[in-house]
Structure 1
Amino acid sequence: MGDRDRNDQGRKRGSGWWRTAPLLGLYRPALVAAGVGLLFSLAGAAAVARWEDRVNRIEFESTAETDSIVMQNGMNEYISRLVALRTLFESANEEITRSEFQTFSARLFEHHPGMLRISWLPRVNRKERAEYEAAAVADGLSGYRIKSLQGERFATAPQSDEYFPVFYSTYPKTSPVYGMDYASVPERAAALERARDNDRIASVRARLYDPRGGGRLSYALVAVPVYAKGTSRDTVADRRRNLTGYVVGVFDLPLLIEAIRGTTGASPAVSVNVYPPFTAGIVGLEEMMPDYSSAPSAPQSMRDVARGLHWSGHLKIGDTDWQVRAMPTVGGSLEMTYDRAGAVLIVGMLLTLSLSIYLMLASRNSRRLSLANRRVLELAQTDVLTGLPNRAFFLARLDELNAQLKNGGWTFSILMLDLDRFKNVNDSLGHGAGDALLRLVAQRLKSAVRATDVLARLGGDEFAIIQEGCEDQRASSTELAARIAKLIAEPFPLPGHRVEIGTSIGIAVAPDHGSDQEQLLKKADLALYRSKSAGRNCFTIYDEAMSAELEARNTLEGDLRDAIALCQLEVHYQPFMDAGTGARRGFEALVRWRHPTRGLIPPDQFIALAEETGLIVPLGEFVLRRACADAAAWPSDLMVAVNLSPIQFKEADLFDVINAALRDSGLSPQRLEIEITESVLLERGTENLAFMERLKSIGVELALDDFGTGYSSLSYLTAFPFDKIKIDKSFIRNLTHQPRSSAIISSIVTLARGLDMSVTAEGVETSEEFERLKALGVNFAQGYLFSRPLPIDQIELDGPAEGSQRDAA
């Protein structure tokens, strides 16, 4: 404070100014500021609390849903192994022995602790009763007889027309359970009837037999119907007549679910309770206690769970839904907290107090206000997730540099970045993992650029860099792009996962490629598109040819629309042969485009364009309908295979389209084979599984196409109902000079046989390859050795297919 200020204050005190000024008028600005500040602090805290509540709920529900999907996939794995055991009974030419049953059961469920017991329940009529009892005694089951369960004790079963006794089992031979007639227990008998009449897996919650009485109910009894080999099961009457028995598995739910969650690294931040299925007539349903609880504390009733934040779902076991309730773990990272709201309230009140004091002292107000305005401007130009500058800041800085360039400033370059395979991370691990990955990407990008460069996040998985002040701008920008591509290609550590992605980069240099914002951004985007088309995880500098290519691409897109509307597309057919007999078993439908001026356009020049523009949907429907119509005129032993694009799988009416094509053409569904690539299985797994099961229910066969080229996973073969595996031609090309290719194909054939699937080898071009494939056990072969794809009018349906291994597609 200066001398003049001190003198002024002395004069005011001397004149009695402080004594005469009204107190209310003196403190009114401070009181008003305090009241308004408190009001805004409370409002801000409430808004932040609502935001925190919404963010926490979204993150919690995403994590809970992921855990539920993991549990369901694990349960499906167990049930698929029971179905494999049914295949053993339905495919065997001779009766399965007790030792074979026990050996196969032990192998199927090795390292699967949730499976408590597996049993075989044959269908025994009144006349066969004595014969089965004698056979069991002769097989080492001393005193075996068919028994009924009366309370907690067994008694000899009364005479009945039909029994379903425990005949084979993984129980010790001394167990009294042998001979127990499941038909004598009402709830188990009802589950067997459902399984038989619907030809599906049925389940029931059950208490296991305990001679001491009591026992917990947290067991799921799963029944799989087994029918006589080669018999019909089209109608309920057929299924009742041809039933030979049941494969029954008893799941220990707590042990099974704990094993699934333990092996898949379930989130500790979510506590999961699994409750019994809802049953009509149960009183006090809200008080139901769980069959399984992941929390170490005492289990909670459904009423207790409903009082707090929770997520509801289902765990499907056969045809019965167990209830799943998830809650944030006490003390976990997802527990509802309002730290930010409290911080906002405290900060708001402190600021209000400070503002009141400043008003009272009448000092430094303008400076504080200037700092606050500057902070607001920074927040408006900052990306909240990564802390990087946002699109608004980037565009403003780009305009500044363009203006400086016109006045003789430095040249600069723009690098547009787009993350490769980021969507896969979001879809498979959730948006929380995607956000964490974006923050890690931002940190690596910061380490790659200079302090003078501008690094911004434009939105989603898009980033941009402005690099200026380099003597050789092109060389510097390409060096920076190469360094970034290498950094991003290194694995990212996420909780429980190691994620590998890449980045595609497009580069535009000013003023060579433009002197305004619109031109530079457009050309950088064109270069980025070229990088993605070139295989991703690379960088490209814009050149004038890209604009010409874009114009040509737009022209080709218009021509393709016209071609679909004017039916200029053709369907050619390539046969696939039975490797054992050499007989032709069917044809794969392949689309060709005969352009009126450019002639026959190869598929690799328009299929990708059709998928990008959505034209693949009408194009695919045309191919499907034409293939079904053509195949309807072929001999009844020939099939037709049609490939579906991943884009088509996103159409809600795809099943209706396939049904309509079959109905309009008159083709039997059993003669249609739908080929699906592995990329389809990476997204919308639950919806796609339901769709594939609907196709199977009407008789359509399913083939996994190009196996081994993408994200090949054995889980696809057990989780999805495929009939056939198609080995990609890249393995066939290396077959005669790389032993590893033979080993891989042999392994695939062995795996397919175990899962009751057939195998087709694509791209067979030489007799040596064909003979080698036959020796490895491949069921079918397809390639130029037999025929190139031909129009329908050039196919000789009555004779063998002809072709040359040198023919072009």
Structure 2
Amino acid sequence: MTGWWRAAPLLGLYRPALVAVGVGLLFSVVAAAAVARWEGRVNKIEFENAAETEVIVMQNGMSEYISRLVALRTLFESTNQEITRSEFETFSARLFERHPGMLRISWVPRVNRKERAEYEAAAITDGVSGYRIKSLQGDAFATAPQSDEYFPVFYSTQPKTSPVYGMDYATVPERRAVLERARDTDRIGAIRTRLYEPKEGGRLPDVLVAIPVYAKGTSRDAVVDRRRNLAGFVVGVFDLPLLIQSIRVTTGASPAVSVNVYPPFAGQIVGLEQMLPDYSSAATAPQTMRDVARTLHWSGNLKIGDTDWQVRAVPAAGGPLETTYDRAGAVLIVGMLLTLSLSTYLMLASRNSQRLSLANRRVLELAQTDILTGLPNRAFFLARLDELKGRLKDAGPTFSILMLDLDRFKNVNDSLGHGAGDALLRQVAQRLKSALRTSDVLARLGGDEFAIIQEACEDQRVCSTELAGRIAKLVAEPFLLPGHRVEIGTSIGIAIAPDHGSDQEQLLKKADLALYRSKSSGRNCFTIYDKAMSAELEARSTLEGDLRDAIARCQLEVHYQPFVDALSGTRRGFEALVRWRHPTRGLIAPDQFIPLAEETGLIVPLGEFVLRRACADAAGWPSDLAVAVNLSPIQFKEAELFEMISAALADSGLPPQRLEIEITESVLLERGVENHAFMERLKSIGIALALDDFGTGYSSLSYLTAFPFDKIKIDKSFIRNLTHQPRSSAIISSIVTLARGLDMSVTAEGVETREEYERLKALGVNFAQGYLFGRPQPIERILFDAPAKSSQRDAA
């Protein structure tokens, strides 16, 4: 009892202290636990960001190697001449002279049975002694047996004494599989492989990359096209560890992150204990996938061609990203000082919040950035428009939208490849940025379409037109791509807020309408929206609907204009010309509805109607009269066009020799090989072919020698200037001489006066057509028994 009484005052005296100690200990433990959890989260975030950055850098480096191999494909596909061995070796050496990790690069052509001996002899002539096409049997080579198709190593960066020359990839199942996959998908194929010659220090993992090469100018739209037009493969073999190590050293990789790269699963069930890395940046890091999974790790993929290597990253032992709990210990030690503990916790929490905020902001920036050009993307552009719309309600500053579309960009993409197209887009982005103020917004909306928001100008219309003019001038200057100099242009549409609306959808639609007007006006120009464009769009939509109905109800008419023998004046045939007599608008000119039909695809049923009607009408004419029918470039893209023409002839009973198909030069610019084959099919059944409107397009003389034309039709613009411009006479004389040398006839269009007719006869044209001999008339108004010469007198 006495001890208790003595202790009681002490307890009463120290109760506040004890309570403070208890509260302090409680807060210390709680704070330490909270800080420990926070440290784990922060370390994890920092580590994952660092690991993701490392893999992005590795992916960019790998993409750089792949892009250099793609450049070799461009070398093969950009020339009609054969690439020599020395050119291949020189170009390959320059591409990878400062890029370690590439073991060898090979050209693996597609060789058929008949070409085998020729390739073997050519390689021996080039200095590859004893070259022969070989098959791999086990680990040894033997002469390849006879086959319909080989894929041998023909060019290589290996010494000419290497046994790799002549190895037929078709005899190695896994390599044949990757070649076929790359060929059929027109993508870069990749496999993990091993070399068939020993490496010093034992074999290390290798990656084989195969890039399909197709014959220049051929189609690769469908699998059957790609299989038919395959020329061979550019094959690269990487030393994967050396390549990745080189990328990490070159880019200054963080030593705080250990990276392991594992081969693709390839559909096989492999134990996690057996999955050892093809590459590991630190020998002390966990090796098998199961070991990695037991620790703090980050998982991702490294894309090589069409395969994904597995990437596992862990914090380096003893590095700054390894999870420790130093702060939690410090908080526990000084926990009795509650204020200091709380201040420290709040400070650390604030820093954690800031880091998380920066990470979230970075994620948002990436989501609103175009990866190819680094410009803001469509999402950012639309968000900015929403902000400006809100300011307009509060009487904020006006702004304008400029929609840009690159002219002739598709030609660059199709002829030089998507790599060149991407490089061109990056250069365009840089030029556009140089023309803008810091307050302007430039975004890439997708493809070759860009958009600009320009605000805070005294006179928005003047500022916008001045900016559009600068941009058009900048983009029109030549661009230098690797090995090429290209010229493009840009069409620009402008909408101004609030004059043309304040709603985002309205402004974008009106800017698009203005852009469409720029493209229709000849491209490489700019247009500001006006109300007439909306009216034109509505009228165009109405006209399109009426045209659909007219085609469906066969309300269109076919008129015929005669063409005559230039020397005798005898009528030799008629050209079929479509006419549309609208029930309320009367006769609509072809130049109003033919372009509309081509844009909407209605030209296909329209063209079939004209061809069938012309064949049916001509079948009832005298047997010495032919009929000429124009084909649109859009019709040439139809797979069953030949069958349609054959059916029209068969149904009408018109002999093919009395049908003449007229083709414009624009048909010859695309799908050259396919269109040439189609024209040969027409010729094979007796149909004559004429090159229409010669002199108004590209007028390349190569078309006359490369395509099987029977006739050239000189455009009427030359005839119109014939009597008062001597240069027109000289041009027509040259065309006649050229056609005569190529065994072709010449028709002069647009002959309206006797003087023009006499001059053309003197120049040697074969046929003449124009109002002098008759205007286009319906079939029922044509008199087939009237002599052609009297028609000339009446017209004169």
Q: Distance between the aligned counterparts of 1:744 and 1:759, measured in 2?
A: 13
**How many pairs align?**
604
Q: What corresponds to 1:714 in structure 2? A: 701
Do the aligned partners of 1:575 and 1:586 also contact (CA within 8 Å) in 2? Answer: yes
Out of 206, 210, 214, the position equivalent to 1:309 is: 210
Amino acid at match of 2:76: D
Do the aligned partners of 1:638 and 1:671 also contact (CA within 8 Å) in 2? Answer: yes
Q: CA deviation at 1:404?
A: 0.7
The farther-off stretch of 586-595 and 496-505 is 496-505
After superposition, give the CA deviation of every residue in 1:48-88 in whole Å (9 maximum; x if it has no partner): 878987897799669737834743899xxxxxxxxxxxxxx
Q: What corresponds to 1:431 in structure 2? A: 418
Q: What corresponds to 2:614 in structure 1? A: 627
Q: Distance between the aligned counterparts of 1:302 and 1:287, measured in 2?
A: 13
Do the aligned partners of 1:274 and 1:293 also contact (CA within 8 Å) in 2? Answer: no
Q: CA deviation at 1:778?
A: 2.3
Q: Distance between the aligned counterparts of 2:793 and 2:426, measured in 1?
A: 52
| 1:251-650 → structure 2 map (5 Å cutoff) | 283=145, 293=155, 298=160, 300-303=165-168, 308-311=209-212, 324-327=231-234, 346=253, 350=257, 354-356=320-322, 364-650=351-637
Q: Distance between the aligned counterparts of 2:321 and 2:354, measured in 1?
A: 12
Q: Distance between the aligned counterparts of 1:777 and 1:804, measured in 2?
A: 19
Do the aligned partners of 1:72 and 1:315 also contact (CA within 8 Å) in 2? Answer: no
Give identity over the alignment, percent.
67
Amino acid at match of 2:538: E
| 1:756-795 → structure 2 map (5 Å cutoff) | 756-795=743-782
Do the aligned partners of 1:784 and 1:805 also contact (CA within 8 Å) in 2? Answer: no
Aligned-partner SS, 1:585: strand
Do the aligned partners of 1:575 and 1:588 also contact (CA within 8 Å) in 2? Answer: yes
Amino acid at match of 1:327: V
Aligned-partner SS, 1:610: helix
Runs (5+) with no aligned partner, structure 2 = 1-20, 84-112, 135-142, 176-207, 219-227, 258-313, 329-347
Amino acid at match of 1:484: I
Q: Distance between the aligned counterparts of 2:638 and 2:149, measured in 1?
A: 42
After superposition, give the CA deviation of every residue in 1:367-388 in whole Å (9 maximum; x if it has no partner): 3332222222111111111111
Q: Distance between the aligned counterparts of 1:441 and 1:48, measured in 2?
A: 25
Q: Distance between the aligned counterparts of 2:416 and 2:719, measured in 1?
A: 35
Q: 1:398 to 1:740 in 2, by over 3 A?
A: same
Q: What corresponds to 1:676 in structure 2? A: 663
Do the aligned partners of 1:708 and 1:727 also contact (CA within 8 Å) in 2? Answer: yes
Q: CA deviation at 1:451?
A: 1.0
Q: CA deviation at 1:585?
A: 2.2
Q: Distance between the aligned counterparts of 1:681 and 1:649, measured in 2?
A: 10
Q: CA deviation at 1:624?
A: 0.9
Out of 746, 750, 755, the position equivalent to 2:742 is: 755
After superposition, give the CA deviation of every residue in 1:268-303 in whole Å (9 maximum; x if it has no partner): xxxxx9999xxxx97166997979759796493252
Q: What corresponds to 1:656 in structure 2? A: 643
Amino acid at match of 2:466: E
Q: CA deviation at 1:513?
A: 1.0
Q: Distance between the aligned counterparts of 1:294 and 1:338, measured in 2?
A: 24
Do the aligned partners of 1:274 and 1:322 also contact (CA within 8 Å) in 2? Answer: no
After superposition, give the CA deviation of every residue in 1:346-372 in whole Å (9 maximum; x if it has no partner): 459559555547975586433333222
Do the aligned partners of 2:213 and 2:234 also contact (CA within 8 Å) in 1? Answer: no
Q: Distance between the aligned counterparts of 1:712 and 1:253, measured in 2?
A: 42
Do the aligned partners of 1:30 and 1:360 also contact (CA within 8 Å) in 2? Answer: no
Q: Distance between the aligned counterparts of 1:386 and 1:800, measured in 2?
A: 68
Q: What corresponds to 1:686 in structure 2? A: 673
Q: CA deviation at 1:561?
A: 0.7
Aligned-partner SS, 2:423: helix
Q: What corresponds to 1:64 in structure 2? A: 73
Q: 1:39 to 1:401 in 2, by over 3 A?
A: closer
Aligned-partner SS, 2:168: helix
Q: 1:59 to 1:750 in 2, by over 3 A?
A: farther
Q: What corresponds to 1:192 in structure 2? A: none
Do the aligned partners of 2:156 and 2:165 also contact (CA within 8 Å) in 1? Answer: no
Q: Distance between the aligned counterparts of 1:749 and 1:40, measured in 2?
A: 72
Q: Distance between the aligned counterparts of 1:807 and 1:379, measured in 2?
A: 72
Q: Distance between the aligned counterparts of 1:760 and 1:338, measured in 2?
A: 69
After superposition, give the CA deviation of every residue in 1:419-466 in whole Å (9 maximum; x if it has no partner): 222222222222222222212221221121111111111111111111
Q: Distance between the aligned counterparts of 1:455 and 1:780, measured in 2?
A: 56
Q: 1:472 to 1:289 in 2, by over 3 A?
A: closer
Q: Distance between the aligned counterparts of 1:776 and 1:294, measured in 2?
A: 58
Amino acid at match of 1:421: R
Does residue 1:733 correspond to 2:720, yes or no? Answer: yes
Amino acid at match of 1:502: G
After superposition, give the CA deviation of every residue in 1:583-627 in whole Å (9 maximum; x if it has no partner): 222221111101111111000111111111111111111111111
Q: CA deviation at 1:541?
A: 1.4
Aligned-partner SS, 1:467: strand
Do the aligned partners of 1:628 and 1:661 also contact (CA within 8 Å) in 2? Answer: yes
Q: 1:640 to 1:371 in 2, by over 3 A?
A: same
Runs (5+) with no aligned partner, structure 1 = 1-11, 75-202, 209-214, 220-251, 255-272
Q: Distance between the aligned counterparts of 2:398 and 2:622, measured in 1?
A: 70
Q: What corresponds to 1:194 in structure 2? A: none
Do the aligned partners of 2:560 and 2:778 also contact (CA within 8 Å) in 1? Answer: yes
Q: TM-score, normalised to structure 1's length?
A: 0.65
Amino acid at match of 1:386: T
Amino acid at match of 1:541: I
Q: CA deviation at 1:533?
A: 1.9
Q: Distance between the aligned counterparts of 1:784 and 1:348, measured in 2?
A: 84
Q: 1:33 to 1:397 in 2, by over 3 A?
A: closer
Q: CA deviation at 1:637?
A: 2.2
Aligned-partner SS, 2:536: helix
Do the aligned partners of 2:403 and 2:494 also contact (CA within 8 Å) in 1? Answer: yes
Amino acid at match of 1:67: F
| 1:102-251 → structure 2 map (5 Å cutoff) | 217-218=121-122
Q: Distance between the aligned counterparts of 2:417 and 2:782, measured in 1?
A: 49
Aligned-partner SS, 1:555: helix
Q: What corresponds to 2:140 in structure 1? A: none
After superposition, give the CA deviation of every residue in 1:73-111 in whole Å (9 maximum; x if it has no partner): 99xxxxxxxxxxxxxxxxxxxxxxxxxxxxxxxxxxxxx
Q: Distance between the aligned counterparts of 1:342 and 1:806, measured in 2?
A: 88
Over alpha carbons, which structure has the higher Rg? 2
Q: 1:346 to 1:68 in 2, by over 3 A?
A: same
After superposition, give the CA deviation of every residue in 1:524-576 in whole Å (9 maximum; x if it has no partner): 11111222222222222112222111111111111111110111111111122
Aligned-partner SS, 2:210: coil
After superposition, give the CA deviation of every residue in 1:469-505 in whole Å (9 maximum; x if it has no partner): 1111111111111222222222222233332222221
Q: Distance between the aligned counterparts of 1:49 and 1:685, measured in 2?
A: 41
Q: Distance between the aligned counterparts of 1:791 and 1:275, measured in 2?
A: 68
Do the aligned partners of 1:41 and 1:345 also contact (CA within 8 Å) in 2? Answer: no
Q: What corresponds to 1:742 in structure 2? A: 729
Q: Distance between the aligned counterparts of 1:569 and 1:581, measured in 2?
A: 34
Q: Distance between the aligned counterparts of 1:329 and 1:39, measured in 2?
A: 32
Q: Alpha carbon RMSD of aligned pairs, Å? A: 4.7
Q: Distance between the aligned counterparts of 1:414 and 1:436, measured in 2?
A: 26
Q: Distance between the aligned counterparts of 1:779 and 1:324, measured in 2?
A: 44
The farther-off stretch of 471-480 and 737-746 is 737-746
